[in-house]
């Protein structure tokens, strides 16, 4: 259940950011979660619903974007997407690959507006 810890850290980050913009409120937040980040999306949503009460995210729309596992072959140079954790290149069979995306967890964007 590390999703609760993740959400607490997201809220702390948001609180730190919103302090830099007095008189503003958050209307939208976008999270980017890689398919292979280890985060259970349903648990993350449950944790967000629970912990956002009383936080700057309480009335914000929260969107979660899912990032595919994308790799680059360091031998043939091609990029490809995988649905399962398999680092082999589908073009040349090499295991000499590098993860480009799909393992991340980040706060992608916040939208703020004047409080009324």
**Alpha-carbon distance 107 to 98, whole Å?**
23
pLDDT tens digits, 8-29: 999 999 999 999 999 999 999 9
Q: Is the pLDDT of residue 33 over 90?
A: yes
Average pLDDT, the chain: 94
Q: Which CATH architecture has domain 2-67+102-114?
A: 2-Layer Sandwich (3.30)
For range 4-11, the mean pLDDT = 92
**Alpha-carbon distance 87 to 68, whole Å?**
13
**Alpha-carbon distance 36 to 84, whole Å?**
9
Ordered by start, the domain boundaries in the chain are 2-67+102-114
Nearest Cα to Cα of residue 36 among 5, 70, 62: 70
pLDDT, residue 115, reads 85
For range 94-99, the mean pLDDT = 97
**Alpha-carbon distance 71 to 42, whole Å?**
26
Q: Is the pLDDT of residue 1 over 70?
A: no
**pTM of the predicted protein model:** 0.84
DSSP characters over 54-67: TSTTTTSEEEEEEE
For range 54-62, the mean pLDDT = 95
């Amino acid at each position: 259940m590390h999703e609760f810890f993740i959400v607490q850290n997201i809220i702390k980050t948001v609180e730190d950011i919103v302090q830099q913009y007095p008189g503003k409120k958050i209307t939208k937040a976008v999270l980017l979660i890689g398919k292979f980040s280890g985060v259970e999306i349903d648990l993350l949503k449950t944790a967000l619903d629970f912990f956002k009460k009383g936080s700057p995210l309480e009335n914000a729309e929260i969107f979660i974007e899912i990032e595919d596992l994308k790799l680059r072959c360091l031998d043939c140079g091609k990029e490809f997407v995988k649905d399962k954790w398999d680092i082999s290149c589908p073009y040349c069979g090499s295991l000499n690959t590098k993860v480009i995306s799909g393992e991340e967890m980040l706060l992608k964007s916040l939208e703020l507006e004047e409080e009324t």
